[in-house]
Copies of this chain bind each other. A is one copy, B any other.
Amino acid sequence: MNDKLLRDLLLGFVKVHILHHADKEPIFGQEFHEELKRHGYDLSFGTLYPIFHKLEADGYLKSKKENINGKIRRYYSITATGKKLLNKAKEQAKELVEELFED
């Protein structure tokens, strides 16, 4: 079955989930990619990294490079603005889903 619609749904959520995780602890690309895979979501790095970049450019995330055994990791954590947005997004997502299940 064609599930472009399911993909769109996922893509709408990915940014919110990034903020959600970056709110709990610093995260980095590969790790988050694995996390998604574990949940059955296959998202390419060509999609994922630019999302991180955009979220940082827009001030919702801040990042810090760290050298782990010679591999550079860029750890992202949420900003104050990011937290505000995250809360709004969670509310909106909840409302939209609730509407689908009421009556």
Chain A positions within 8 Å of B, measured between CB atoms, are: 1-6, 8-13, 15-17, 19-20, 55, 58, 60, 81, 84-85, 88-90, 92-94, 96-97, 99-101
Contacts and interface: CB of A to CB of B under 8 A. Distances in A.
Q: How many copies does the complex hold?
A: 2
The binding surface of chain A is classed by DSSP as: helix
Nearest to A4: B58
A74 B58 CA distance: 40
Contact of A92 (B10, B20, B88, B89): B10
Given A1-B85, A2-B58, A88-B3, A9 B99 contact: no
A9 B12 contact: yes
23 contacts: A3-B88, A4-B58, A5-B16, A5-B85, A6-B85, A6-B89, A8-B11, A8-B15, A9-B15, A9-B16, A9-B93, A9-B96, A10-B12, A11-B12, A12-B13, A17-B96, A20-B99, A20-B100, A90-B100, A93-B97, A93-B100, A94-B100, A94-B101
